[in-house]
Amino acid sequence: MAELSLRNVSKQFGTVEVIRDLSLDIPSGEFAVFLGPSGCGKSTLLRMIAGLEAVGRGEIHLGGTRIDTMAPGDRGVAMVFQHYALYPHMTVRENMAFGLRNIGTPQAEIDRKIADAAEMLEIGELLARKPTQLSGGQRQRVAIGRAIVKQPRAFLFDEPLSNLDAALRSRTRIELARLHQRVSSTMIFVTHDQVEAMTMATRIVVMNQGRIEQVGTPMEIYQRPRTRFVAGFIGAPAMNFLTIAGVTERGGMAVARLPDGSEVATVIPIAAVSSGGLTLGVRAEHVLPGGGAAAKVDVIERLGERTLVYANFADGSSVVYDEPGDVRLSVGDSVALTIDGTAAHLFGPDGFALHG
C-alpha cells in the first residue's frame, strides 16, 4: 500500500488544457474513484499516474517517491484497461505470468501468485483457456488477475466495466469492492457512471473540465454537494433545480419563494445567502406528495420497487419525485407537491452551494 500525491499537475494537448493545476492526496489503502463526464480529464490523469502520458507540469508521488520521472514499469502500479489487452495467442495462465517472467521472477513464485489470484477471482478452471474462449466478464477477471500477481503498490482501473452488460457490471462492482477488502491496496478507478462510484468508492473525486469539483465520501457528496454541477451529476434521478423568485428570513433561516408564490423554509442561515440569481435544489425523495403547490403529471417511470413521477408546475418548471412502486397515477393527473425545506439546497449565481 502507498499514498498517492498529485502536486499542481497540468497537461495540455496543443492549445487545449485538459488538466489544470490539479492537486490531490489519496491515502494509502483507499478505493478512490475519479468520476466525471466524458472529456473531463479523468482518464488522462490516470494515464499520467501510470506513465502512459507525460506530465506537462507538476509532480506525482507514490509512497513518498516521485514517480512521474520514472519509466512506467518502475512505478509500482498496475493498470487494468477498458479493453482487457490480453494476448490472444496465450492461455490465461500465460497472460498472467507474462509480466512476471519479463522481470525474472522464479517459476515457483509465479505459480504461487497465479494460484492465489485465480482462487481470489474464481478463475482457476479458466487457466488453460485462451481469451477467445472466455466471456467478457471472464476476460475482465483475467485482466484484473494479471494486475494482482504483480502485487503493485497501487491499482489503476480505466473504466474496466464499460464493455460488460448491465447484470455483469453489477456483479463485477461487488467483486471489485470485495477484492479491495482482501488485498487492502490503494485503488484508483475511473468512470463516468455515478452508480459505480457510489457503490465502490471510499472517496469520490468529482472532476469537470480538468478540475476537481469536490472530493468526499459517496454520501458526503450526495447529501452536501459543493456545486450545482456535483448536485446535478450525482444521483439518479438528478437533483431538481427550481428558480427562486425571492428570499425572506424566518428565525434566522432563509425562506425561498418560488414563482407560483409557494414558500420553502430552508435550514440555511440567511447570513450565508447572497441576493439574486439563486437556485433551489432538492432531491426526488424530498419532494413529497400532498399539501403543496399544484402540478400536472407529465411522465411516469415505473422501476418496480419505486416509481419516478415527472410533473410540471403552472409556471412551466418541472420536478421529479418518488412514489411507491404500485402508485395509481396517470399522465395528466393533478398532484399537490410539498418540498422538504430541511433537505433543500441553495446555489448562488456562481454555481456554488450556500451552506451555513
Name the nearest CA neighbour of 69 among 78, 77, 59, 79. Answer: 59
pLDDT over 70, % of the chain: 99
Spatial distance between the Cα atoms of 64 and 61, rounded to a whole number of angstroms = 6
Are the CB atoms for 266 and 344 separated by under 8 Å? yes
Domain ranges of the chain: 4-225, 240-354
pLDDT, tens only, 45-104 = 999 999 999 999 999 999 999 999 999 988 989 888 877 778 899 999 999 999 888 888
Residue 355: pLDDT band with limits 50, 70, 90: confident
Are the CB atoms for 147 and 78 separated by under 8 Å? yes
- Homologous superfamily of 4-225 in CATH? P-loop containing nucleotide triphosphate hydrolases (3.40.50.300)
Query: Cα dist. 233→158, 236, 332 in Å?
Result: 20, 9, 29
Give the CATH architecture of domain 240-354.
Answer: Beta Barrel (2.40)
Are the CB atoms for 187 and 210 separated by under 8 Å? no
Spatial distance between the Cα atoms of 217 and 224, rounded to a whole number of angstroms = 10
What is the helix (H) or strand (E) element at residue 97, kind and residue range?
helix 92-102
Beta bridge partners of 178: none
348 φ/ψ angles, rounded to the nearest 5 degrees:
-75, 175
DSSP tag of 275: S
Rounded average pLDDT over 272-286 = 89
Which pLDDT score is estimated for 140?
A: 83
pLDDT, tens only, 99-157 = 888 888 899 999 999 998 888 888 889 999 999 998 888 888 888 888 888 888 899 99
Spatial distance between the Cα atoms of 151 and 77, rounded to a whole number of angstroms = 9
pLDDT over 90, % of the chain: 60
Spatial distance between the Cα atoms of 200 and 184, rounded to a whole number of angstroms = 14
pLDDT, tens only, 187-218 = 999 999 888 899 889 999 999 999 999 999 99
pLDDT, tens only, 238-253 = 999 999 989 999 999 9
